[in-house]
Each structure stands twice: as structure tokens, then as C-alpha cells.
Structure 1
Amino acid sequence: MWTLVFTIIGINVAYVSIFTLRMIFVIKGKKLLASGLSMVEVFIYLMGLTIVLDNLDNPINVAAYCLGFGIGVLLGGKVEEWLALGYATVQVIIDEFQADLPVKLRELGYGVTSWLADGKDGRRLVMQVLVKRSNEAQLYRHLELLAPKAFVISYEPKSFKGGFWVKRIR
């Protein structure tokens, strides 16, 4: 009995983790990789569903299916964080008097575009920094040291054309 329960959990963890990664690959434009993963995903899904449907007489099997699904979502999310695919655009807003921050960030290897803006409490310096997602945490550590009071917003750009990073991205 427990072998069947752990098999159901394991199958669903694998299925949902692959499902999560496939969706991320589709969003990131890696359609060929997503297509390959989808074939593995649907095979695992059908095997797991068949096992559960053949053994519906035991509610523990259904609970195992649900538990495996939940663990798969967690694991898929962790794998995606570990892979850190793509890029992030980080917008940093600081007091105007820290005008040397863009230079310091450029010296650290970041591409920075900056401009002056008006905020509620006066002039602000706004910077836009494009960074690989795998280096995003490092950028935040630099910002914490260089501008601990900075207002920081991060989002994922979908496409690029021109500019500092285009040569590096290709």
C-alpha cells in the first residue's frame, strides 16, 4: 500500500514540476524546449492518473495525488528560482544628491540609464538597470550598501532591441 502511495506522490511531484517549468519556458519564448517537456509531462500525468483512477477505492491514494501536486508546485518554483532564466529590469529611485550612484553601478558592470525626476519630497534620481536574473540578488546587495534608502522596483522585460546589453544577450 505505501509503495503505491509514494509512487503516486512521486509521479505527481515530477508531473507538476515539469508542468511549472514548461509554462515558464513558454513565457520565456523557449517554445521548442517547452514542447519537448510537454511530451514528458503528459506521459507522466497519464501514468499517475491511471494509477489513481485504478485505485480510487482507497482515499489515501487520492490524498497522495493531492499532496504530490502541492509538493510539485513548490519544487517547480524552487527549480525556476535556481535556474533564474532571463533578465530583470530594476528601477531604482534615490535622492538627487546621490548622483554618483550610476557611475558606481557602471563600474560594477551594470548597464545604467538615469534621469532626474520630481517626487513628492523633491528631486529624485531614477535609474533603470538591466540585469541577468541570476545576478539580481547581487545587484540588491550592492544597492543595499550604496543606497540603503533606495526605492527599488523589479520587473521582467519581454524583448530587447539596441542598447548596452544587446551584444551581451546574443
Structure 2
Amino acid sequence: MLESGIIMLVIILCVNIVYVSLLTVRMIFTLKGKRYIAATVGVFEITVYTLGLGLVLENLDQIQNLIAYALGFGLGVISGMKIEEKLAIGYITVNIISSNPDIPFTESLREKGYGVTSWYAYGMEGDRLAMQVLTPRKYELMLYETIKEIDPKAFIIAYEPRQIFGGFWVKKVRGSRLKREEEKIQSE
């Protein structure tokens, strides 16, 4: 009897981890406008959800099942966030303000494959170089490291654009040079 109760707890826990992970992935695809992928994930999500909820409702008199369900939900949130980090779907726009406009910042970023738009600005402490960089999200951390190597005092703001039309990325790169840069870093 005890053994079957423990198996039930593990099943409920695992089912809810899978359910919430799928929910997170579906929401990501929905927000990215990938409706058919989101719908497909949704089919599996609701199937797993119904199964897990059914197991809990059949045994509602046992508090440990409800606890396992709640724990599975929490662990599913963490799992879903990890999956989202690995998927890294879409692009990120990074605004950079260099502390020194004389640093060859724009050229250094372009050599590494980033599309950079730059202009001179004036800040509280004098002249600055302002830049805007668009990059695939999977290269976001690599970009931050590159920025810090070039100018450790740079001011950085990042956000995720909803729509992208035209320009350097759409026409040319789409990450090919960045991919080579990433492979070079990984081989070192």
C-alpha cells in the first residue's frame, strides 16, 4: 500500500512538472507569433494537465497528492524557465552608451558580426558614443561579454523587439558570423 502511494506521488509530481513546462513553452511560442507550434504544444499540454488533475481529484482525500501537485507546479515553472533559456527564440535589442567615444567600439562589434547603428551623444559628463545592436537571443550573453571587454564602464539597456522589418539583419547576416564567433569562443 505504501509503495503504491509513493508511486502515485511521483507520478503526480512528474505529470505536473511536464504540464507546466509545456504551458511555459506554449506561451513563449504564442508570444513569438508561432501559432501552429503553440497549438501543437497546447494539445500535449492539455492532455497532460487533464491526466494530472484527474489523478489528484480521484484521490482528493489524500493531502500528500495535493502537495505533490503543488510541488510539481513549482518545479515545472523552474523547468519551463530553463527550457525557455535554452530555446532563446527571437532577437534582443541592446542599447549601449560608451563612456569614451574614442574607443573603436562600433568597428569591434561589427568585426564580430553584430549589426550596429551608432551616433554621437552628449551625456552628463560629456561626449558619448551611443549604439544600438540587434542580435539573436542565443548570442545575448556573448554580446554582453564583448561589450564589457571593450568598455567595462559602458551603460547597457536591453529589450525584446516585437517586429523587425528590413535592415542589416533581415538582408544579410542572420547570425552566420556570430555563429562562427561563438564556435571560436567555445573552442578556446
Structure 2 partner of 1:40: 44
Letter in 1 for 2:99: D
Cα deviations across residues 76-129 of structure 1 (Å, max 9, x unaligned)?
A: 000010111111001110124334100111111110000112212222111000
Work out whether 1:22 is the aligned partner of 2:26: yes
- Give SS of 1:127's match: strand
1:1-170 to structure 2, matched below 5 A, reads 1-167=5-171, 168-169=173-174
Q: In 2, distance between residues paired with 1:97 and 1:39?
A: 53
Letter in 1 for 2:30: V
**TM-score by structure 2 length?**
0.87
Runs of at least 4 residues off by over 4 Å: none
Q: In 1, distance between residues paired with 2:53 and 2:162?
A: 35
Q: Is the 8 A contact 1:94 1:125 kept in 2?
A: yes
Q: Is the 8 A contact 1:9 1:67 kept in 2?
A: yes
**Mind listing any 5+ residue stretches in structure 2 that lack a counterpart?**
175-188
Q: In 1, distance between residues paired with 2:125 and 2:10?
A: 59
Q: Is the 8 A contact 2:15 2:48 kept in 1?
A: yes
Identity %: 47
Q: Is the 8 A contact 2:94 2:132 kept in 1?
A: yes
**Mind listing any 5+ residue stretches in structure 1 that lack a counterpart?**
none
**TM-score by structure 1 length?**
0.96
